[in-house]
Amino acid sequence: MQFTRADFPDGFRFGVATSAYQIEGHQFGGAGQTHWDSFAATPGNVVRFEDGARACDHYHRLDEDLDLIKGIGADVYRFSTSWARVMPEGTDRVNAEGLDFYDRLVDGLLERGISPALTLYHWELPQALADKGGWRNADMPDWFADYTEVVASRLGDRIWSAAPINEPWCVGWLSHFDGHHAPGLRDIRATARAMHHILVSHGRAIQVMKGLGMGNLGAVCNMEWSTPASDAPEDVAAATRYDAIYNRFFVGGLFKGEYPAEVMEGLEPYLPTGWQDDFATIQSPLDWMGVNYYTRKRIAHRPDAPWPAYQEAPTQGPLTQMDWEIHPDGLKDFLTRTAREYTGDLPIYVTENGMANPDTHNQPDTARSNYLTAHLKAVQEAVAEGAPVAGYFVWSLMDNYEWSLGYEKRFGLVHVDFETLARTPKASYHALAEWWRG
């Protein structure tokens, strides 16, 4: 990689990201059951029925993994706390062992000179709350605020930045409309309510953290560029609907206090009563915006279906192991559009970017180095066009549990042998270390 730190703005931060359920080993340390455990145990949901019970056993290999983060020269480590590890039933009872683990994690980062970037929710909802309807339930903002208070009271004095909910589109749409993630629903009413409650919960968590004196608080949305499959007006309209649902709904709520008209066409009848009154909470002021970016989709009209009446058109290479198109321009376009239309001068972080590749422990992952290089160039272009991008974090530190796709899709800068759990830094790790370490 032909970069130096001087090629990016002053104070620009580089980092690596993971999430709790994907690496920790959920069976350890007194964590409670989550909706991912039951989702994965249900045939047809996850490749080979794999789950996060052991994952990378990060729970027992914390120091080794923190040394890897230090070794690559990361300024920031973006991690998540698991709600069910901290509060096994989702409310009331706190698992001291779980909080102690995160306390050691944060201290271990600070001892190594790395800034801790906390995410409070990265998808493993305590089963007890899922049993009550999970994100569909209007009590979620209260439950989430209580959980936030427990975590923030313990860690908040040492956290560099915090965001409540990773990738609201996945928590809402992918999980309640597409049915591809837990709880695996395919229900428009559940989707509308979940998407709204996610944003209200986000706002409540921001208020709790602010109340406890924490600063540098943000939101993290995943964005996927959508290109019409043809110039036909129906395909253009379908791609616009896809963009509205995926990319504009959540930032619309957070920064404009409104939802896009193209989404309201389908979801409005199903939103909870009084949804219009929640924007004051949803719009609790933020200090930064996070964009997770991987790919784009070509979108076509689907004539035989009700709203949203779109379908994915065939991809065009080159593709990653996920069969995702490599399209770095989408990152530049999202960074500039987000600043221009939503966030103005607020710092934007690329909170996730990376690719899955069928890596082995002893072959250079040249494809990943090329992917990262192309996307870092896209970040530079966005900066040159005036987007206030302040950092870039690679997904992921190490190979891990890729949700419904199990352990096969390798996103790591560090190879993990899932038999022995041996960690081996890949060529991309060394390439980043060379310039991040200075």
Q: Which residues here bind ligand IFM, judged by CB under 6 A?
A: 19, 22, 167, 292, 352, 395, 402, 411
CB 357 to ligand IFM: min, Å: 12
Which of 310/395 has CB closer to ligand IFM? 395
Closest CA to 50 of 331, 415, 403: 403
Contact 196, 250 (CB under 8 A): no
CB 406 to ligand IFM: min, Å: 12
Catalytic residue among 24, 167, 262, 402: 167
Respond yes or no: is residue 352 known to be catalytic.
yes
CB 276 to ligand IFM: min, Å: 30
Which of 221/300 has CB closer to ligand IFM? 221
Q: What 3-state class would DSSP assign to 356?
A: coil
Q: What is the 3-state secondary structure (H, E, C) of 251-288?
A: HHHHHHCCCCHHHHHHHHHHCCCCHHHHHHHHCCCCCE
Which of 220/239 has CB closer to ligand IFM? 220
Which of 3/121 has CB closer to ligand IFM? 121
Distance between alpha carbon 407 and the CA centroid of its chain, in Å? 18
Q: What 3-state class would DSSP assign to 23?
A: helix
Catalytic residue among 262, 325, 352, 402: 352
CB 313 to ligand IFM: min, Å: 21
Respond yes or no: is residue 408 known to be catalytic.
no
Biggest CA–CA distance in the chain, Å, is: 58
Which of 36/411 has CB closer to ligand IFM? 411
Tokens 């009550």 belong to residue: 132
Task: List C-alpha distances in Å: 392 to 251, 254, 376.
Answer: 19, 22, 8
What long-range pairs does 424-431 form, CB within 8 A, spacing at least 24?
Answer: 424/361, 424/362, 425/68, 425/71, 425/72, 426/359, 426/364, 426/365, 426/368, 427/364, 427/365, 427/366, 427/368, 427/369, 428/365, 428/368, 428/369, 428/372, 429/68, 429/71, 429/72, 431/1, 431/369
CB 383 to ligand IFM: min, Å: 23
Nearest-angstrom CA–CA distance, 126 and 16: 26
CB 22 to ligand IFM: min, Å: 6
Which of 214/398 has CB closer to ligand IFM? 398
Contact 83, 124 (CB under 8 A): yes
Cis peptide before 318 (omega within 30 of 0): yes
| Active-site residue set | 167, 352
